Amino acid sequence: MIHRPEIKTLEENGYKWNDLFDIIKIFEDKISRYTGAPYVTVTDCCTHALELSFRYLQKQGVVKKVSFPSYTYLSVPMMLKKIDIDYEMLDHDWQGYYQFEPTNVVDMAIRFTKDCYIKNKFCCVSFGDKKVVKIIRGGAILTDNQSAHDYFQRARYDGRDLKNVPWTGQKEYEIGYHYNLSIDDCARGIILMDELAKQGLHNKDAIDTGKKAYPNLKDYKFNF
pTM given for the model: 0.93
Question: Has residue 94 got a pLDDT over 90?
Answer: yes
Over range 44-66, report the average pLDDT: 97
- Give the distance between the most distant pair of CA atoms in the chain: 51
What b/e string do you get for 155-169 counting C-beta neighbours within 10 Å, with b at 16 or more? Answer: bbbeebebeeeeeee
Q: Categorize the per-residue pLDDT at 107 as very low, low, confident or very high, splitting at 50, 70 and 90.
A: very high
Looking at residue 173, what is its pLDDT?
87
Looking at residue 130, what is its pLDDT?
83
Domains in the chain, CATH or no CATH each: 6-219 (3.40.640.10)
- Distances, alpha carbon 204 to alpha carbons 53, 91, 116, 154, 172, in Å: 25, 25, 11, 32, 44
| Mean pLDDT (the chain, rounded) | 92
What gap in Å lies between CA 51 and CA 62, rounded to an integer? 15
Q: Categorize the per-residue pLDDT at 149 as very low, low, confident or very high, splitting at 50, 70 and 90.
A: very high
